[in-house]
Structure 1
Amino acid sequence: MSRKTARGARTRRPSVLAALVLLAGATRLLVAAPADATGPAGRPAAGPQCAALDQVEIPASAMSLPTRGGRVTGTSVVNRVLSGRAVEFCQVDADILPVDPSAPRIRLRVDLPYDWNRKAMMFGGGGYNGTVPDLAANVPFGPTDQPVPLARGYAMFAGDSGHQQSPTAPASLDGSFGANDEALNNFAAGDALKKTRDASLYLVRHAYGTLPAVSYFAGGSTGGREALVVAQRWPTAFDGVIAAYPAWNNLSEILALGNLAHVLSRPGAFLDPEKQTLLHDHVITACDGLDGTKDGVISHPDACHVDPRALRCTGGADSGPGCLSDAQIRAVNAMSSPFRWPYRIASGETGYPGFPFLSGADMSTPFLGFGTTAPADPMPVTSGYGMQYWSQWVKYFLTRDPDRGSLDVDPAHPGKWLDRISFLSTIEDRNDVDLRPFARAGGKLILLHGAADELVSDRSTGDYYRRVQTAVAPLSARSFMRYYVVPGANHANFGTPAFPAAWDSLSALERWVEGGRTPSNPIVVDTAHTRTRPLCEYPEWPRYRAGDPDRASSFVCTP
């Protein structure tokens, strides 16, 4: 049965059990059955045969993209308590060998539960990747009152995207692999995603004697971009995808971050942590009540129009922590405004929409914010995450010169680097918004973003969503996609956001994919303040109407 036929049958028969039976024999995953499978295809074995997986060869033919095959490097039976449940699983580590002998290998991990639910999930990474994600973790913005996927019985897998981070580099900030073309394509174009998926499913079938009935992908930030990559490039690879705060237009955002590095490096332009907090507090005070209640959360950011000149120091010169100088005001406006470049690049992108620092985002968030010191050459580790990301990109992706100062390259006027920038845009800006093949195959996509994200702009995700709507017409985007913006939520719930978000998007996706039930009136939980809000479908926002301001029922989603 083809995947399309299987999905059509599932739509007509919304029973989850019927869907799993129909899909069990599907050929859509196209992974060769190993000769020594522990059970006949279509019927799971009693459990993963963990020891038998050790040193198993993964043939190159099991992967649709070129490799030199792979091998399991180690296995172990693990017992852990996850989400209050005792979970026993077989942990499998494996390597995929590159075509280019000088390229790093792809390292992957597969966790195979003994109480398997006949489903699989792949996790995406973060930043420049370089490590295998924690397969016992939750989906982005996942719920705290429901089991993590592994504890639900999912066979979990993920890879490091084709390179290994230096142990001396800050987490997810080692871009040195970009000097190798195969490693660059594995990461930026997403080639490692398909290689990892194919190899992992080969091992799943080897362990259980059958393929998963359904497969999902979940990721945030770089992982969110990867979630959109798999939907774009391999529309039949996953039945459902969760893409949170996705850095889909990676090169475009990098150019914007590079521009901000130049702006903030100018004399007197950088805002120290006290001034960063001053600005954030001023914005919250000015806009908090625009949604009908004062609760520390800006729920209607489009109505928030803060002029940083209200904080101007007398005379415009920096006179202390209680005001902003003219140079700092110009920097704040640059961070919050679109950056447009005066040249063409091959991806067709023309700019980046700016960050919501004047509508709720906090630039003082440790690590992910703008740091405690101004950008410089060499880039200080105390500068913001985005500034360090830009620096690594200049050294290893753009110039491939590790001694190159990142402030030597001006994104507004790149000169001799323009051709290289244009080329990189073709693999880093994953902006194919024609998701009709994914939709026709029955795929479902949930997009999530926090309105106070300080690292990846939610405005950019709104742009992506609108483009998809245009591209798939006359097919309704709502037939396969939902996009939700969470007021007050920041990037990955990092630090102490105003609204650390939690929503059971996985159960919602399961009901949609396996039972044909569309997401209906979802509720998002603030895990720090024991309050709830309606999760409004973009571009709606939650307006307070009456009642307890800590209850979602007191709000209504408003166009």
Structure 2
Amino acid sequence: MKPTRSRSASVGSAVVTASIISLSACGGSNDNDAVRASSTAQQACATLSGKTIGGAALTAAVVPASGPAPTYCKVNGTLAPKLNFEIRLPDSWNGKLHYAGGGGYNGAIPDVALSASALKQGYATASSDSGHQGSLLDASFALTDPTAAQLFGSLSVPTVMATAIEAVTAAYGQLPSKSYYEGCSNGGREGLMNVQRYPKLFDGVIARAPAYNWVGFMGAFNRTAKALAAPGGAFTSAKTSLLAKSVRDACDGLDGVVDGVVSNQSACTSAAFNPASLRCAGGTDTGDTCLSDAQLAVVSSWTTDAVFAGSPTFRNAGWSLTGNEDSPTAMGLWVTGNGNVTTALQYLFQDTTVKNYLARDPSANSLAYSPWDQNQSALSAMAALNDATNSNIQPFVDRGAKLILWHGGNDAALSKNNTAEYYNNVVSKVGGQSAADAFMRFYIAPGVDHCAGGPGADTADLLTALDNWVTNKAAPGTLTAQKLDPANGAVQFERPLCQYPKYPRYTGPANDANAAKLASNYACS
């Protein structure tokens, strides 16, 4: 799976260039946040249009303000062989650069909506398609194109950063004073990959719901898909609703308020709710008021750890039962397919992974691929490309960079317990909590689905918190998360965003719906 020497040479050169440039961009003589370049988006476009920078011929055009995005200069280019990128330059630059990561198997440049908040704050932003074009559910590039596989795995971000820094410097006449990375899901993995392999590239990284243990979570996807496909294992939306309501009935009030979200998940133990209590008489499916033995086996597969041979990192921590499994973007979408497992996103991801990384056969049946760890060389090769499990991030720490981890408490795509494992592994590696607190924070947002959505408060400005930490040495503590009305952006309610392992406990007046909407009536417990 290695690229040819000629094709990999340009990629490797770009990575070296990125590292050199980033040293100048981070902590150099231009590290003065009071300095602001005066170029407008129009002027930046005029400067860059038609130029070749970092080996890429650039096109540039001003994009008027629309929806959440302000006016900006959109700069596009391609780095050989086919790494497409986009740089967005705001009207009023704050002197800093923000890189927004992708999702799934990438294949397209992320929508500007993912960068809109950063653009509004004055950041220049950059993103890419990671070096191949296609559906985010399609890993066929890994079967046919070793260079694309390496770019997706770890090289696309540092490669694009080299060109982005040059382009931003050309547009505004000065190097970025700080460079930050932010991404969710695979984007979170990309963030941790750069923390681990390119520690000098960013001054700070925000890794949301990071898909960092590719071998482990894909194996867990495969295991649960098989349980769902087994006779009687199909899980309808009614079954999911039964499970979710049962968890809420048992555990919702354990955080001090009955609000439809189980914030105190650590107290929602098997003593509070045991899925076996939903067992159908005799273990055979008798309708929507119970779970058969085959369906309880699905719940067990989903909520227990999956461990595979070959490496201590070939594992996946099980999902917690949250009480919000019935959210439209939770268990039905990701796990069960609402009765048809082959439509579930977890099934589709593991299926394309088996076909293109492990069996290396587009006709392979992923449900018949057993055991998951049968081909150790294939697992190790995939891990070398895609796993970001190394908890020894001392080089990143030593240069003063900061890391913020975040995970939705109702994430049915990737287990928040995996992110907790990585966080705890880093804490152990650096010598304890006090040392870790100097450079790392971890937040869990109760009731929030994968990256966003769900009944919980899913909006929080982690970028401002990170920037204050890096530039002003103001370490973030409890933050505020909001739930916004999708129609008009109005705040529906707020919650404290607590540092792990704390959760927001309601301390306000009883039976007061308006008081329960205010973050000030909660304490991190």
Per the alignment, residue 365 of structure 2 pairs with: 405
For residues 274 and 205 of structure 1, what CA distance do their matches in structure 2 show?
56
Name the CA shift for 1:320/1:545 in 2 (closer, same or farther; >3 Å).
same
> Amino acid of the residue matched to residue 550 of structure 1?
K
> Amino acid of the residue matched to residue 451 of structure 2?
A
SS in 1 for 2:505: strand
**Unmatched tracts of structure 1, length 5 or more:** 11-16, 25-41, 60-68, 99-104, 139-146
For residues 112 and 90 of structure 2, what CA distance do their matches in structure 1 show?
12
Per the alignment, residue 451 of structure 2 pairs with: 492
1:22-37 alignment, distance < 5 Å: none
CA deviation after TM superposition for structure 1 residue 318, in Å = 0.7
Is 2:123 aligned against 1:154? yes
Deviations 1:224-258 (A, max 9, x none): 11111122222221111111111111221001111
SS in 2 for 1:372: helix
**Conservation of the 8 A alpha-carbon contact between 2:86 and 2:109:** yes
CA deviation after TM superposition for structure 1 residue 336, in Å = 0.8
**Conservation of the 8 A alpha-carbon contact between 1:121 and 1:218:** yes
The alignment's TM-score, normalised by the length of structure 1, stands at 0.82
Name the CA shift for 1:90/1:81 in 2 (closer, same or farther; >3 Å).
same
**Conservation of the 8 A alpha-carbon contact between 2:26 and 2:202:** no
**Unmatched tracts of structure 2, length 5 or more:** 1-19, 486-490, 510-514
Q: Which of the residues 93, 103, 106 maps onto 1:129?
A: 106
Per the alignment, residue 386 of structure 1 pairs with: 346
Q: Which of the residues 312, 316, 320 maps onto 1:352?
A: 316
Q: Which of the residues 305, 311, 324 maps onto 1:338?
A: 305
**Conservation of the 8 A alpha-carbon contact between 2:317 and 2:418:** yes
**Conservation of the 8 A alpha-carbon contact between 2:457 and 2:481:** no
For residues 331 and 223 of structure 1, what CA distance do their matches in structure 2 show?
28
Name the CA shift for 1:325/1:156 in 2 (closer, same or farther; >3 Å).
same
Per the alignment, residue 459 of structure 2 pairs with: 502
Deviations 1:376-431 (A, max 9, x none): xxxx3xx210110000111112222111111231244x43x232112212222211
The alignment's TM-score, normalised by the length of structure 2, stands at 0.87
For residues 236 and 244 of structure 2, what CA distance do their matches in structure 1 show?
12
> Amino acid of the residue matched to residue 456 of structure 2?
F
For residues 56 and 8 of structure 1, what CA distance do their matches in structure 2 show?
28
CA deviation after TM superposition for structure 1 residue 125, in Å = 0.4
Per the alignment, residue 448 of structure 1 pairs with: 406
**Conservation of the 8 A alpha-carbon contact between 2:27 and 2:177:** no
Per the alignment, residue 4 of structure 2 pairs with: none
Aligned sequence identity (%): 34
Name the CA shift for 1:326/1:408 in 2 (closer, same or farther; >3 Å).
closer
> Amino acid of the residue matched to residue 255 of structure 2?
D
Per the alignment, residue 525 of structure 1 pairs with: 482
**Conservation of the 8 A alpha-carbon contact between 2:183 and 2:191:** yes
CA deviation after TM superposition for structure 1 residue 204, in Å = 1.2
Is 2:286 aligned against 1:319? yes
> Amino acid of the residue matched to residue 271 of structure 1?
F
Deviations 1:150-203 (A, max 9, x none): 1222111100011101xxx5xx21111111211111112x11111111111121
1:38-437 alignment, distance < 5 Å: 48-59=43-54, 69-72=55-58, 74-81=59-66, 83=68, 87-98=70-81, 105-138=82-115, 148-165=117-134, 169=135, 172-179=136-143, 180-188=145-153, 190-305=154-269, 306-341=273-308, 343-345=309-311, 348-357=312-321, 360-362=324-326, 365=329, 367-375=333-341, 380=342, 383-412=343-372, 414-415=373-374, 417-437=375-395
**Conservation of the 8 A alpha-carbon contact between 1:108 and 1:159:** yes
CA deviation after TM superposition for structure 1 residue 359, in Å = 5.7
Per the alignment, residue 38 of structure 1 pairs with: none
For residues 326 and 452 of structure 1, what CA distance do their matches in structure 2 show?
24
Name the CA shift for 1:113/1:314 in 2 (closer, same or farther; >3 Å).
same
Name the CA shift for 1:310/1:460 in 2 (closer, same or farther; >3 Å).
same
For residues 230 and 459 of structure 1, what CA distance do their matches in structure 2 show?
22
Is 2:422 aligned against 1:464? yes
SS in 2 for 1:93: strand
Name the CA shift for 1:114/1:525 in 2 (closer, same or farther; >3 Å).
closer
**Conservation of the 8 A alpha-carbon contact between 2:495 and 2:522:** yes
Is the helix fraction higher in 1 or 2?
A: 2
Name the CA shift for 1:301/1:49 in 2 (closer, same or farther; >3 Å).
closer
